[in-house]
C-alpha cells in the first residue's frame, strides 16, 4: 500500500496576528507519506486546525482519497475549533 499526501490546508492565515509571523506552516518530508506541521497558532484565535489530504493505493489498481484533521488547541485546557472557510494553503504561496 502507498499513501501520498496531496495537500494541507488550515483554518488560520499563514501570517496572521499573534502567530509568530512564521511561514509556511507545513513542509513536505522526504517521504511522500509524511509532512511536518507547525504547532504554533494564533494566540487570539480558537486554535489551528490542519486538514491533510491524501491518496492511498493498494498497488493493484485500487485507490481512495481521504482527509485527516490535526488540531492545535489554544491551550491544553481547550479544543481547537475548525473555523474554515476560508481555508489557507499551509505550504504557502
Q: What is the pLDDT of residue 17?
A: 60
Of 74, 63, 64, 88, the closest CA to residue 7 belongs to 88
pLDDT at 20: 57
Q: Is 18's pLDDT higher than 60?
A: no
Rounded distance, CA 9 to CA 58, Å?
25
If you ran DSSP here, which 8-state letter would residue 43 be given? T
Q: What is the CA radius of gyration of the chain?
A: 14
Tell me the mean pLDDT in the region 14-41: 81
Under 8 Å between Cβ of 49 and 19: no
Q: Give the model's confidence band at 42: pLDDT under 50 very low, under 70 low, under 90 confident, else very high.
A: low
Residue of 50, 54, 67, 70 lying closest to 10 (CA atoms): 50
What is the pTM for the complete model shown?
Answer: 0.84
- pLDDT, average across residues 17-32: 78
Please name the residue that has the C-alpha cell 493505493: 57
Residue in 50, 33, 47, 42 with CA at minimum distance from that of residue 15: 42
Amino acid at each position: 500500500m502507498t499513501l501520498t499526501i496531496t495537500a494541507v490546508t488550515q483554518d488560520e492565515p499563514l501570517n496572521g496576528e499573534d502567530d509568530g509571523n512564521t511561514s509556511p506552516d507545513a513542509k513536505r518530508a522526504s517521504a511522500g507519506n509524511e509532512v511536518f506541521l507547525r504547532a504554533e497558532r494564533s494566540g487570539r484565535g480558537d486554535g489551528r486546525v490542519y486538514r491533510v489530504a491524501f491518496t492511498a493505493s493498494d498497488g493493484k489498481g485500487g485507490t481512495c482519497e481521504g482527509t485527516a484533521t490535526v488540531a492545535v488547541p489554544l491551550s491544553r485546557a481547550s479544543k481547537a475549533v475548525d473555523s474554515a472557510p476560508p481555508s489557507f494553503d499551509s505550504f504557502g504561496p
